[in-house]
Amino acid sequence: MRQRLLPALYLLLFPLLLFAGVEMNVIFPHGFHVEDVGVACDQCHSGVDDSSTGLDNLLPEMDICLSCHDGDTAGDDCAQCHLDLDDPQPAPRISAYLPKFSHAAHVADVTCEQCHGGVTASMESTSRHLPQMSLCMECHSTPLTIEGCQLCHNAQESLLPLDHGPDWVKMHAAVEQDRCDMCHSVDQCEDCHTGTAGEILFHDENHLLTHGLDYQMRDTDCSLCHTDNTSCRECHNANVIQPLWHLDIDYLNGVHGAEALIDPAYCLLCHGDEAESCDECH
């Protein structure tokens, strides 16, 4: 069982944050070097096979570039890669990567492309080819405990995703379940959503009595879970529930048409497809 306090691992924006505020000053087309020239990854990233920490700088030094770009084997025009010829700089390195991450422990069984998807065909240098947490979890699905997380993450590291803010309890229902499953088990849902009769509830047990008022006051955003009004219509139709003013004979004879012209979207909350509903009587 996953522990209740297990912080979420799904750091979707983590690769982008590694380059936050860093200006890319080098043009490097991986696709040309790998697919057209046939350069192997470890020819440029020569230290990757022995790297046991994410603090290692695995970007190629200028000497590696010059081993080909000597004007003979390959062109030596600096503008091919450097945007600022007056002050050419190496590509900014990743300085905030996981200290405990070991490339050496992965390269024997995992190809570069498996983690750095698309990089061998890319014609630019960006952070988009850094692995996201969901990709790591395809292999690292166990052990699902804090100790398992700390195979790569430090104990002092905050693993809470950026979107888990003060409103997360209200908003979490809109997230795809596959993302939640990375860190949370179903029994954790039950801890909050189990009613007195043992059934799984996503609202409090008096919600049927109060949900109409909640909707009108917009205390909760129903559309986070109820993406259409099908569930509303099914329940209301089955229990013959309708607004009281609909029971007035004058409403059917004339008022409803005027209201439909003024605010048709309000009618569609219950009556579904406009043409289909109207055609039943008209």
- Asked whether the predicted pLDDT for residue 16 surpasses 50, the reply is no
Percent of the chain with pLDDT over 70: 79
Q: Tens digit of pLDDT for each residue in 152-164?
A: 888 777 777 878 8
Residue 48 vs residue 167, higher pLDDT: 48
Tell me the pTM.
0.56
Query: Could you report the per-residue pLDDT of 54-75, keeping only the tens digit for each?
Result: 889 888 888 898 899 888 888 8
pLDDT for 1 beyond 70: no
Q: DSSP per residue over the chain, as a string?
A: ---TT------TTHHHHHTTTPPP-B---HHIIIIII---HHHHSTTGGG--STTS--SPPHHHHHTT-SSSSS---GGGTBS-SSS--PPPP--SS-TT--STTTTTTS-HHHHSTTGGG-SS--GGGSPPHHHHTTT-----SHHHHTTTS-TT-----TT-STTHHHHGGGS-HHHHTTT--HHHHHHHHB-TTS-B-SS-TTHHHHHHHHHHHTSS-GGGT--SSHHHHHHHHHTT---GGGGSHHIIIIIHHHHHHH-HHHHHHHH-SHHHHHHTT-
Q: Would you say residue 104 has pLDDT above 90?
A: yes
